[in-house]
């Protein structure tokens, strides 16, 4: 009768594995490992090629990792001081060569080294005092190890050889493993089987190593994209089963509404408005993302959509992430909607209590047909008589629940979410798979060209002279810093440390300050003073990244520009050039500046298209680092690299559609969730 443990199941608790007790399992759970399968999703950081043995006599140079073979001799243990003991030995090869070996604070190695026969040691060489080399803290094996050894990030108390042993035991759960896609679907989708992929990642061989690892990683990325595509499909179908009022305006009335604008719509705006009109007229809740570069005219599109909804006898609400942005939108929307006979109310946190109560009463009675506000709009005390359209601006600054809370104020209300933060189409399709995508890819004529330059610290005197002339000539200046206050541990340019000197350098210019530590009323007052022209210079952090519309602002100085991503740099640049005045963006770098940062700034200088920059940002930094992505409804990717997995996304969406046609989508989704957990819940 065999005494071997039965093979674990993927959903078993890790305590079924040898060496994992309740205490270790609790620590693993804190690290996100709740099942045996979770352990297999803890992928190696890298792989070490241990296929070549070095000669003991000439193993290599200091710093080299080497594999050597021989017998251990002259084993001893000495306590050097209270918290340091060393096990020393000599490794002797068959030809008589000798290499000193040392293990630091690993007292258990003394007994093991004494008892060992022929061994293989893998470790790092270092120089010895008095000359020669020694092998430090090597792994010891008395059997033939694999030629390729995975190296893992520490997992709770598990490291090194012990962690490899636990993962090796976990791999047995793949014996007889049924692929969650079914037996035939992996081949149909062009991916390898999941069981095979996991075995390859944890126990690879040298033959075709890179190709096999890429294929294995691709399968995990495919499953991750599949799960997101499934969620999007389910939400789209849920919306498709709902009915909403058909909001239709005849062509003659629509042309009149468009003619009321003080300017001509661009072809891109007209295209997007046709898409929105079609959505509102089809009797299903609209769920659309409007994406456009800074200054492309998204607010005008939103205003006409709101007017169309009011024309249909329903209410509309426009929610912005900050009070500054909400008040600015209120001014712009009022100018656009007033000629159409649509009065506009405002509901923000700073509104006097009596005035806020009156606005809420008017919303509940239907007397207010259009309202602009902050998250105050989603408070329980706000009730709409007949909400037909919710517009959410700068969507990535709201949580999904806040967005849905506003939509739920109506009965199957339409939803339009907007962003001026360009993200690549591949990323938008994943993160916003439940929304139809509209893009305004055209800037209205008449906008000033922004000339972008990159300058080093030694250019500061010339920059200050230029700014003084610009201010004297009627221009206004943004000066943005990466942090409010610095520390002795870093050299990041900080606003508060530069404020006094800049006030003196730019005198007699009127200088104001905006940052996150100020109260809302203080930030609003400074921003409004700058907009009115009562301030010439606004020192700020990235709180001015979106929303502050000051047509007279002609210069944006970005201090420590190498510390910002491309998309954020572009957003900051978008604060100037909003009028007809020639405008400048000056990216000031610190020293030293890395090669990658220099490349990023060179792209920023040469490219003024936000979507091209977003694609470049994706390649340079990866999706988890792009500004805003963490707030776009998903925590970032664990296995996906969108800079190379764009085609994989298309295949995942095709697979979801195929499984749906075959009636297998719900079952596959259930199995994937069982294995990987809820989307975004682990890792």
CB 414 within 8 A of CB 309: yes
| Per-residue pLDDT, 618 | 65
51-145 and 450-631 have identical folds: no
Q: Quick one: DSSP state of residue 155? A: B
Instruction: For residue 392, count CB atoms less than 10 angstroms from its CB and return exposed for 0-12, middle for 13-18, buried for 19 or more.
Output: buried
Q: Which residues contact 615 (CB under 8 A, 6 or more apart)?
A: 424
CA distance to 13, 464, 544, 593, per residue, from 561 (Å)? 48, 17, 15, 10
| Per-residue pLDDT, 648 | 85
Distance CA 557, CA 552 (A): 15
| Per-residue pLDDT, 631 | 37
Assigned token pair, 418: 């907007």
Distance CA 232, CA 657 (A): 11
The secondary structure of 367-394 as a DSSP string is S--EEEESGGGGSTT---SSEEEEEEES
| Per-residue pLDDT, 625 | 45
Under CATH, which number does the domain 51-145 receive?
2.40.50.140
Residue ranges in the chain whose pLDDT is less than 50: 1-2, 624-635, 678-683
Please work out, in degrees rounded to the nearest 5, the angle formed at the alpha carbon of residue 621 by the alpha carbons of 615 and 624.
95
CA distance to 282, 394, 587, per residue, from 288 (Å)? 14, 13, 35
CA distance to 149, 207, 209, per residue, from 49 (Å)? 7, 12, 10
User: Which residue from 627, 654, 591 is spatially nearest to 233, judged by alpha carbons?
Assistant: 654
Distance of CA 60 to the CA centre of its chain: 42
Under CATH, which number does the domain 251-440 receive?
3.40.50.300
| Per-residue pLDDT, 624 | 46
First to last CA, the chain: 40
| Per-residue pLDDT, 230 | 86
Q: Which CATH class is domain 450-631?
A: alpha beta
The DSSP bridge pattern shows strands 583-588 and 315-319 to be unpaired
CB 244 within 8 A of CB 312: no
Q: What is the pLDDT of residues 187-222, one digit of tens each?
A: 999 999 999 999 999 999 888 888 899 999 999 999
| Per-residue pLDDT, 202 | 94
| Per-residue pLDDT, 237 | 80
| Residue 527 Ramachandran class (φ > 0 left, ψ -120 to 50 alpha, else beta) | alpha
CB 133 within 8 A of CB 65: no
| Per-residue pLDDT, 504 | 95
Q: What is the pLDDT of residues 536-588, one digit of tens each?
A: 999 999 877 666 788 899 999 999 999 888 878 988 998 898 888 899 999 99
| Per-residue pLDDT, 679 | 41
Per-domain boundaries in the chain: 51-145, 178-235+645-683, 251-440, 450-631
CB 389 within 8 A of CB 414: yes
Three-state secondary-structure class, residue 230: helix
Note the helical H segments in 408-519: 425-431, 460-472, 495-505
């Amino acid at each position: 009768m065999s005494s071997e443990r039965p093979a674990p199941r993927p959903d078993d608790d890790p305590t079924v594995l040898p060496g994992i007790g309740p205490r270790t399992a609790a620590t693993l759970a804190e690290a996100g490992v709740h099942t045996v399968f979770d352990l297999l999703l803890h992928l190696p950081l890298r792989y070490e090629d241990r296929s070549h043995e070095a000669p003991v006599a000439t193993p290599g140079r200091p710093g080299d990792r080497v594999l050597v073979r021989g017998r251990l001799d002259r084993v001893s243990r000495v306590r050097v001081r209270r918290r340091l003991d060393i096990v020393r030995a000599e490794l002797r090869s068959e030809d008589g060569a000798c290499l000193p070996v040392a293990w630091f604070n690993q007292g258990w190695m003394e007994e093991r080294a004494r008892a060992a026969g022929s061994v293989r040691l893998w470790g790092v060489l270092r120089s010895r005092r008095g000359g020669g080399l020694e092998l430090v803290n090597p792994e010891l094996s008395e059997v033939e190890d694999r030629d390729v050894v995975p190296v893992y990030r520490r997992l709770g108390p598990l490291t090194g050889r012990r962690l490899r042993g636990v993962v090796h035991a976990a791999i047995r759960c793949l014996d007889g493993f049924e692929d969650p896609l079914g037996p035939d679907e992996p081949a149909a989708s062009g991916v390898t089987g999941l069981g095979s992929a996991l075995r390859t990642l944890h126990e690879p061989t040298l033959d075709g190593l890179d190709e096999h690892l890429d294929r294995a990683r691709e399968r995990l990325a495919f499953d991750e994209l599949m799960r997101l595509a499934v969620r999007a499909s389910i939400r789209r179908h849920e919306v498709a089963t709902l009915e909403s009022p058909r909001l239709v305006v005849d062509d003659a009335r629509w042309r009149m509404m468009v003619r009321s604008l003080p300017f001509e719509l661009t072809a891109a705006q007209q295209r997007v408005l046709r898409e929105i009109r079609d959505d509102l007229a089809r009797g299903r809740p609209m769920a659309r993302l409007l994406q456009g570069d800074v200054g492309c005219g998204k607010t005008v599109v939103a205003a006409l959509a709101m007017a169309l909804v009011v024309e249909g006898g329903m209410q509309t609400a426009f929610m912005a992430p900050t009070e500054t942005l909400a008040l600015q939108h209120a001014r712009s929307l009022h100018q656009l909607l007033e000629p159409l006979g649509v009065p506009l109310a405002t509901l923000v946190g700073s509104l006097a209590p009596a005035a806020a109560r009156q606005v809420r009463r008017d919303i509940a009675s239907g007397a207010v047909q259009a309202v602009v506000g902050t998250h105050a709009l989603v408070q329980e005390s706000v009730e709409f008589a007949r909400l037909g359209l919710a517009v959410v601006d700068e969507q990535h600054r709201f949580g999904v629940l806040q967005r849905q809370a506003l939509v739920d104020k109506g009965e199957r209300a339409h939803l339009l979410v907007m962003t001026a933060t360009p993200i690549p189409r591949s990323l938008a399709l994943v993160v916003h798979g439940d929304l139809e995508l509209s893009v305004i890819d055209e800037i209205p004529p008449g906008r000033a060209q922004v000339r972008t330059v990159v300058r080093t610290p030694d250019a500061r005197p010339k920059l200050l002279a230029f700014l003084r002339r610009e201010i004297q000539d009627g221009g206004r200046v943004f000066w943005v810093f990466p942090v409010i206050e610095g520390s002795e541990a870093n050299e990041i340019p900080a606003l508060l440390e530069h404020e006094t000197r800049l006030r003196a350098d730019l005198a007699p210019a009127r200088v104001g300050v905006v940052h996150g530590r100020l109260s809302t009323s203080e930030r609003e007052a400074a921003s409004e003073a700058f907009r009115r022209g009562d301030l010439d210079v606004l020192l700020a952090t990235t709180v001015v990244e979106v929303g502050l519309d000051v047509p007279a602002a002609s210069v944006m100085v970005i201090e420590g520009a190498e510390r910002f991503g491309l998309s954020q740099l572009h957003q900051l640049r978008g604060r100037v050039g909003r009028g007809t005045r020639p405008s400048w963006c000056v990216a000031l770098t610190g020293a030293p500046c890395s090669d990658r940062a220099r490349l990023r700034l060179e792209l920023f200088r040469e490219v003024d298209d936000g979507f091209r920059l977003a694609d470049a940002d994706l390649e340079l930094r990866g999706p988890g680092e792009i500004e805003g992505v963490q707030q776009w409804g998903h925590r970032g990717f664990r296995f996906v690299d969108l800079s190379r997995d764009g085609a994989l996304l298309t295949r995942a969406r095709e697979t979801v559609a195929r499984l749906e046609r075959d009636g297998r989508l719900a079952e596959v989704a259930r199995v994937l969730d069982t294995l990987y957990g809820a989307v975004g819940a682990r890792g």
